Amino acid sequence: MRKFYRKTVVRTPIYLSNGARVSFSDVGNDIGVFETSDIGLQNEFEVCVRMQRGGVEEIDEATFAALLETKKKSTRPAPPLSRFDQRASAHIPAGAATSAEAVAAKPPATVPKAPDAPAMPPLAKVEPLVVPEFTPRTGRRTKTLP
């Protein structure tokens, strides 16, 4: 038997008793939905509903379908133009070609060839660093006066 659940604050996942993490599908307005036919998950969610933990509540199939439908309908509007884009679009004359047409009409630009770099002189050979062998002092330490 399938059961349907709704959760508020969808970004916060639900952790089950075995430590597994369950994420709900975001349908907008910080609401998530989850559909399952797994008895173990249903029991875990029933505990959440009974203890009022995680903002989980059981819903019917019609509510679940309505929430998914609102997700499909809602589309985010285009972000507003930045100030630079607004200023740039204000200076385009009404009869000007679009950027795609302008690129297609313009011949490809030729890139000037960079001059050849002069040849580098050969690197000097580096001798390995000679480290003197360290021999710690041995024997009795003498007392020093303050």
Q: Which pLDDT tens digit goes with each residue over 34-89?
A: 999 999 999 999 999 999 988 999 999 999 999 888 877 655 555 565 665 555 55
Whether 69 and 63 have beta carbons less than 8 Å apart is answered as: no
**From CA 25, how far away is CA 22, in angstroms rounded?**
10
Hey, what are 37's tokens? 């036919």
Hey, what are 34's tokens? 């989850």
* Per-residue pLDDT at 94 exceeds 60: no
Please tell me the predicted confidence (pLDDT) of residue 50.
93
Whether 56 and 48 have beta carbons less than 8 Å apart is answered as: yes
What mean pLDDT do residues 20-46 have? 90
The residue assigned the tokens 């490809």 is 108
What mean pLDDT do residues 95-101 have? 53
* Per-residue pLDDT at 134 exceeds 70: yes
The DSSP H or E segment spanning 3 is: strand 3-8
Can you name the residues that pair with 36 across neighbouring β-strands? 3
Domain coordinates in residue numbering, the chain: 3-73
